[in-house]
Amino acid sequence: MSTPPPAGTITLAEKTVSRLGFGTMRLTGPGTWGDPADRGQAARVLRQAVHTHGITHIDTADAYGPHTVEHLIRDALYPYPEELLIATKVGMARPAPNMWAPHGHPVYLRSCVEASLRRLGMERLDLCYLHRIDPKVPLADQLGTLKALQDEGKIGHIGLSKVTPGDMHRAGKEVTIAAVQNVLNMADRHDPALELCRNLSIPYVPYRPLAAGTLATAHGVFAPLNWLLQLGELVAPIPSTSQPEHLDEIVSAVRVGGW
């Protein structure tokens, strides 16, 4: 891609990708359920992120829809540019709109990975997060399943989502942690996992960087993203939007800010 990546680059899952990523949670219907109101526009936003703005880190999950966004990504972006990293997450069941339930049974996790590979049209998930640690299943069993899939070549790197430093220490005994994805923004400023990521040189991917739009309404787009980007070169936010003009605003604010 000839467009310079917004906010520079970061090494994530052994790929050099744009430090500003794109989160895809909003590319569904209400309650993160079903198709978006305008499926064509959702596909255009994905192409705009990658082909217009040079974003090479797309974050998704099998739970978005569920399954909706992984299908959208393939429809919009396949065949994928070599430099594009599509990170997905597994281990969350969706019984109904706005309902989320961690599900870490090994059979379920394996089925999730196999299904994500088919939906995305991939032979390997370059970065696969455990969406949530399921307290009902031993962590060693959950991560052991992902590690087995990694050994089989179906997962490249394993990440963790919504975890504490204690979770990270326990997980680090089972797998190499490639990235951590937690909530962090100007309204929710403290996450002790960030300091541990810095100490261990693990990329930190803050989701909800604009607090579902409330920070952008109150402060504009630049201030919240600038605050995150100033936290260190390992911090790689993934703002999400379903509106082309809002994506333009996000990328423009980052570029004007000198990132």
Residue 3 falls inside a structural domain: no
Residue 1 falls inside a structural domain: no
Q: What value, to the nearest 5°, has the Cα angle with vertex 164 and ends 159 and 241?
A: 60
- List, for residues 24-79, the tens digit of each pLDDT value: 999 999 999 999 999 999 999 999 999 999 999 999 999 999 999 999 999 999 99
pLDDT tier for residue 3 given thresholds of 50, 70 and 90: confident
């005994």: which residue's tokens? 173
Short-list 119, 123, 169, 121, CA closest to 143 = 169
Residue 240 falls inside a structural domain: yes
Into how many domains does the chain fold?
1
Contact present, 223 and 214 (Cβ < 8 Å): no
- List, for residues 72-89, the tens digit of each pLDDT value: 999 999 999 999 999 999
**For this structure, is 64 an active site residue?**
yes
Residue 2 falls inside a structural domain: no
Residue 67 falls inside a structural domain: yes
Within 10 Å of residue 60's Cβ, how many Cβ atoms?
Answer: 27
pLDDT tier for residue 259 given thresholds of 50, 70 and 90: confident
Residue 4 falls inside a structural domain: no
Both tokens of 163, joined, read 């975890």
Contact present, 20 and 5 (Cβ < 8 Å): yes
pLDDT tier for residue 1 given thresholds of 50, 70 and 90: low
pLDDT tier for residue 217 given thresholds of 50, 70 and 90: confident
pLDDT value at position 256?
A: 86
What CA–CA distance (Å, rounded) separates 17 from 39? 26
pLDDT value at position 72?
A: 98
Both tokens of 248, joined, read 């333009």
CATH number of 230's domain: 3.20.20.100
The pTM is what? 0.96
pLDDT value at position 140?
A: 98
pLDDT value at position 2?
A: 62
Give the CA distances from residue 139 to residues 144, 148, 197, in Å, rounded to whole numbers and listed in that order. 8, 14, 20
Both tokens of 160, joined, read 């963790």
Q: What share of the chain is helix, strand, coil (3-state, %, to 5)?
A: 40, 20, 40
Residue 103 falls inside a structural domain: yes
What CA–CA distance (Å, rounded) separates 116 from 127? 12
- List, for residues 123-170, the tens digit of each pLDDT value: 999 999 999 999 999 999 999 999 999 999 999 999 999 999 999 999
Residue 169 falls inside a structural domain: yes
pLDDT value at position 123?
A: 98
Q: Quote the domain boundaries for residue 214.
A: 9-256
Annotated active-site residue in 64, 129, 204, 207: 64
